[in-house]
């Protein structure tokens, strides 16, 4: 009993230390921002436009690239092929490499001189200095979260259930949409949430592709370098609150859907 009591104390100490490490900087930022600064920031059109653009761009990346990422994750979960380990490693590269390097890599394929850049301009889509470029940059650095979560979800679905449905005459598409997808839904929703949340915070890749129009992370950096901490902190505090609200709402929605399923 004594040893059990001691280890609980040790674990509680380290848990409190880590929690304080996360909370203290955020709490300090919120407390050092006055009510007047919050009010002025909320009334600043540039700040509100940048936050709306950030939310929209990240969500657009999730919708556009998530449609392809979910079937891809299912393929990775169910199929074995030469080089699969390499493919899984490549998927994680956008998380590992510096995001400024990710921005440069993306710029190389969406610049005005590239095939994709010229094709986009031909149909009125501008990547460099445009919203489309922001969407691509956010999706690039965040899509591994969705792929990995969805793959883990599909791997957790017993294959015998899929085979039973196939033996009963269901088509592979019907099995996917009525068996595999619903059973992996919890992991997929978590992946979608993490992908959206990660896209919201992206700075390095976005600032290389599109400095303007400014998303919130770029605006915070621009105000800090141009005017100092006192001008950047209120914007950062408001944006963190918005991100927290979005993240909590998505988590609650995911938990509610999970409860309804059960």
How far apart, in whole angstroms, are the C-alpha atoms of residue 97 and residue 90? 11
CA distance 234 to 183: 42
At residue 117, the pLDDT reads: 92
Q: What is the mean pLDDT of residues 90-101?
A: 93
Question: Containing domain of residue 221, as a range?
Answer: 37-261
**pLDDT value at 111 more than 80:** yes
Separation CA 240–CA 31 (nearest Å): 13
Domain assignment present for 17: no
Residues 157 and 183: beta-carbon distance below 8 Å: yes
In a domain, residue 77? The reply is yes
Separation of alpha carbons 98 and 256, rounded Å: 36
SS3 220: helix
Residue 81 within any structural domain of the chain: yes
User: What are the tokens at 112?
Assistant: 């005005």
57: domain CATH number is 1.10.3720.10
Q: For residue 129, what pLDDT band results from cuts at 50, 70 and 90?
A: very high
Q: Looking at the predicted structure, is the pLDDT value of residue 183 above 50?
A: yes
> How many domains, the chain?
1
Q: Is 130 helix (H, G, I), strand (E, B) or coil?
A: coil
pLDDT at 239 over 60: yes
The 10 Å Cβ neighbour count of residue 118 is 11
pLDDT digits (tens, 9 = 90+) for 48-89: 999 999 999 999 999 999 889 999 999 999 999 999 999 999
Region of 176 (left: φ > 0; alpha: ψ -120 to 50; beta: rest) is: alpha
In a domain, 159, yes or no: yes
Q: How far is CA 91 from CA 23, 69, 71, 169, in A?
A: 31, 11, 14, 35
Q: How many CB atoms lie within 10 A of CB 15?
A: 10
Residue 114: other Cβ atoms inside 10 A: 15
pLDDT at 38 over 90: yes
């Amino acid at each position: 009993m004594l040893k059990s009591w001691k280890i609980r104390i040790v674990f509680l100490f380290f848990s409190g230390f880590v929690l304080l490490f996360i909370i203290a900087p955020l709490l300090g930022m919120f407390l050092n921002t006055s009510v007047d600064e919050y009010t002025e920031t909320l009334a600043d059109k540039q700040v509100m436009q940048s936050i709306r653009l950030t939310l929209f761009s990240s969500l657009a990346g999730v919708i556009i690239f998530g449609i392809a990422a979910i079937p891809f994750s299912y393929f990775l979960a169910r199929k074995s092929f030469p080089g699969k380990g390499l493919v899984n490693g490549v998927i994680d590269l956008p998380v590992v490499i510096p995001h400024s390097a990710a921005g440069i890599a993306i710029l190389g394929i969406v610049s005005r001189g590239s095939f994709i850049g010229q094709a986009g301009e031909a149909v009125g889509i501008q990547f460099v200095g445009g919203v489309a470029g922001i969407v691509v940059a956010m999706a690039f650095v965040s899509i591994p979260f969705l792929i990995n979560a969805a793959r883990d979800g599909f791997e957790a679905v017993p294959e015998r259930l899929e085979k039973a449905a196939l033996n009963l005459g269901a088509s592979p598409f019907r099995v996917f949409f009525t068996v595999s997808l619903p059973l992996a839904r919890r992991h997929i929703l978590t992946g979608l949430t993490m992908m959206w949340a990660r896209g919201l915070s992206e700075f390095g890749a976005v600032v290389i592709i599109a400095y303007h129009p400014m998303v919130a992370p770029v605006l915070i950096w621009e105000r800090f370098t141009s005017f100092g901490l006192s001008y950047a902190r209120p914007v950062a505090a408001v944006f963190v609150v918005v991100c927290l609200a979005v993240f909590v709402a998505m988590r609650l929605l995911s938990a509610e859907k999970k409860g309804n399923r059960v």
